[in-house]
Structure 1
């Protein structure tokens, strides 16, 4: 359940108005409704005002709040005409530059180990209605937290947010550490650097935490195989990763050889 500080301005105003109602039951019911079900439409109005009707700033505002949902992003896309001015042909708009500068929050790359990995599924077309909606999720949908976060990142990347460069490294590093292979694939597909973080950090994190599939995908995307990655695999006793790294050309240094003798 949300906290009062997570609610948009319009909802808080209505709570204030209802608080003058003498019928305490009505006040409690409305408060519960607002805390549990802040609608995407109300949330959109709030971030639209905060973003001063400019798409990039509206998206950046939405990312700050826990009420961020597919439903809210759909509202932004559905009302894009009122947010975006026509672009001049042949010139890169200031808004496009602002979209490149938006950094996706780390919480979107969290992975619940008690849930299945997300699936790369097709998003529902804008404008298609479902019987009932709550935070952009239709009635009858059983969507895990991992899947919700993946769908949010995928939708944001489709809205032209960037995951390349120094500011975009966080998502790939966190996903590599968590072993979230579908998220790693998604980020690499949208331009994330396989050597993100300096010193080949994404691959090293995947090796340290024993995520062989993630390590293979990063190497396929251009992450260099190094003796340091092999040393970490030996230190952590990840035998499958050790075997694979040596197959793809990782050469052990003297320290690694000594560690291998102790296995």
Structure 2
């Protein structure tokens, strides 16, 4: 009778512990924090945009103040460039984490579900496409109202007139309105998701957080859309 021989099991290679950046939770936290930074910028941005309703002098003075804010401690443009660098870092970190988490989701389940059914809200299902739309809009917005590259009737140092020129074209309105609707949907889901990631949500607070997310999305979207609508209707000209 042959004796069965036991083969020693090969020790499985130990994986090095994942760093904060390498972990899924770490990437979600980076997305949450960078998203909140961008949300804070959007709140400040929409407040500044609404100054257009006070006339060209008020709005152009606001544009000049952006370049000298922090004076006399800071030189002209330093604070503005600081905000731009922080915002750029937040956008890049947010986009990179979103892409990497999306790839992990795909690798975790490479085959599609047999029975397809909608398990998430419209905003959740469109987060990825919405992010792409917003990213493309950021490029357009910089070329339009910052560098004045694509704004045919732009005047340097005249932000009020440049806003009116942008929203006096059909394509400027279509691009802006589409992007702001995508921003609204992104905020609606993103704020609630960030709250969950950072531990602010629970069974009792979820309803309140969703209400805040809906309110923020609605107010910011309405605030941003108020400017092109005002130009289109002749209220701002």
Q: How does the TM-score come out when normalised to structure 1?
A: 0.24
More helix by share: 2
Q: How does the TM-score come out when normalised to structure 2?
A: 0.26
Larger of the two Rg values belongs to structure: 2
| Larger RCO (CA under 8 A, 6+ residues apart) | 2
